[in-house]
Amino acid sequence: SQTIHQWPATLVQPVGSPLSLECTVEGTSNPNLYWYRQAAGRGLQLLFYSVGIGQISSEVPQNLSASRPQDRQFILSSKKLLLSDSGFYLCAWSVPVPSAYSPLHFGNGTRLTVT
Amino acid sequence: KNEVEQSPQNLTAQEGEFITINCSYSVGISALHWLQQHPGGGIVSLFMLSSGKKKHGRLIATINIQEKHSSLHITASHPRDSAVYICAAYNNNDMRFGAGTRLTVKP
């Protein structure tokens, strides 16, 4: 069966420090991969999605970047964190050929606090 | 105005009550997705539907495409149903999320 791993679960970082969040998927090949952010009291916002190795689409211009160095690995990074980067970050995957009937499968999330 | 609106924002119920959470959307969709976010933050997919009704255990989801409205019902609610329920409108690999409904079921 497929599983998705996301780490760390919580992270407290000072302003200006770098960030690296990692997500890996097991049990499937060539998945679509997604990074979402959920700000306090707000809905999920798509940050990046990837349909293959090295293929990254950015939905929202910001201080963050994403990379997909391997088929089932998705990394969210920042060179210098801002206070506004605080939030709950979720990685998700879906089957390679997206359709209306392909549900998203979410990781457990990373709660990031920038101080 | 958000493209996906949920109501209510917060809902408190007694164990055993029938729960209804509503979702209205203004965008064209090919499917609507109901998600459950547990207190720890993890999200589970409940339903994905494009017409009619789907049922899984005590959970029922309905959608009216003409009215651009979907509802999630929970029968015989239980404290373990306490979570945030999120609806998401899906179209062409683009998904727009509601802000969520926080449900608390008291014993």
Query: Taking a contact as any Cβ pair under 8 Å apart, which residues of chain B between 3 and 42 contact chain A?
Result: 4, 30-31, 33, 35, 40-42
Tell me which DSSP letter residue A107 carries.
Answer: -
- Residues B25-63 have pLDDT tens digits of 998 888 899 999 988 788 888 988 888 999 999 999 999
Among B29, B46, B43, B7, residue whose Cα is nearest residue B89: B29
Contacts of A88 in chain B (CB under 8 A): 41
In terms of Cβ atoms closer than 10 Å to its own Cβ (0-12, 13-18, 19+), residue B52 is exposed
Q: Which two tokens stand for residue A101?
A: 């009937």
Cβ–Cβ of A105/B98 closer than 8 Å?
no
Contacts of A43 in chain B (CB under 8 A): 2, 4, 86, 97-100
Percent of chain B residues topping a pLDDT of 70: 97
pLDDT of the residue at A103:
77
State the DSSP string of A13-69.
E-TT--EEEEEEEES-SS-EEEEEEE-TTS-EEEEEEEEETTEEEESS-SS-EEEEE
CA gap A25, A6 in Å, rounded: 9
Note whether B49 contacts A: Cβ–Cβ < 8 A: no
Compare all CA atoms of chain B with the CA of A104 and give the residue at the minimum distance: B45
Cβ–Cβ of A106/B44 closer than 8 Å?
yes
pLDDT of the residue at B29:
85
Count the Cβ atoms, other than its own, within 10 Å of residue B105: 20
Compare all CA atoms of chain A with the CA of B6 and give the residue at the minimum distance: A43
pLDDT of the residue at B44:
87
Note whether B51 contacts A: Cβ–Cβ < 8 A: no
What φ, ψ does residue B81 adopt, rounded to 5°? -80, -10
Cβ–Cβ of B45/A46 closer than 8 Å?
no
User: In this model, does residue A101 exceed pLDDT 80?
Assistant: no
pLDDT of the residue at A45:
87
In which band, very low, low, confident or very high, does the pLDDT at B90 lie, cut at 50, 70 and 90? confident
pLDDT of the residue at A47:
92
Q: Which two tokens stand for residue A80?
A: 């210098």
The minimum CA-CA distance between B102 and chain A, rounded to whole Å, is 10
- Residues A35-72 have pLDDT tens digits of 999 877 678 888 998 989 999 988 876 789 999 999 99
Count the Cβ atoms, other than its own, within 10 Å of residue A5: 13
What average pLDDT does this structure show over B82-106?
A: 89
User: In this model, does residue A100 exceed pLDDT 80?
Assistant: no
Query: In which residue are the tokens 């302003």 written?
Result: A15
Residue A74 near residue A33 (C-beta atoms within 8 A)? yes
Compare all CA atoms of chain B with the CA of A32 and give the residue at the minimum distance: B93
- Residues A6-40 have pLDDT tens digits of 999 999 999 999 999 999 999 988 998 999 998 77
pLDDT of the residue at B50:
87
